[in-house]
Amino acid sequence: MRILLAWLALSGCAIKHSPIPSDTNLKESQRDWMSVYYAELEIAIENNDLESKYFFLQEIIKMKYKLDYNKTLPENPKLKFLNQ
């Protein structure tokens, strides 16, 4: 019985296939970063994580600015958030 349990413990979690990068063929045109940023922002708000909240707000603002004005903001623009 002990041998059976030892055998099950050692062989039960064996990985038979290791993933490779080609398993996830993502196309940049099919990615919806805005929805990802909004989902992460909601999680940050729920967890009271101010650093994540400001990071994702900054990313949303940069993306909206690029869509609206066809210009990119600097990588780390200085933004002021009112009514925290």
Q: What is the per-residue pLDDT for 72?
A: 83
Q: Is the full-model pTM beyond 0.85?
A: no
Q: Within a domain: residue 74?
A: yes
Q: Which structural domain range is residue 48 located in? A: 30-84
- Identify the pLDDT of residue 74: 78
Q: Would 51 be classed as within a structural domain?
A: yes
Amino acid at 16: K
**Number of folded domains in the chain?**
1
Q: Is residue 8 part of a domain?
A: no
pLDDT of residue 31: 79
Residue 82: inside a domain: yes
**pLDDT per residue of the chain (84 residues) written in tens, 0 to 9:** 777 677 666 666 666 677 787 767 777 777 788 999 999 999 999 999 999 998 999 899 889 988 899 888 777 777 666 665
- State how far the Cα of 60 lies from the Cα of 43, in Å rounded to an integer: 15
* Residue 1: inside a domain: no
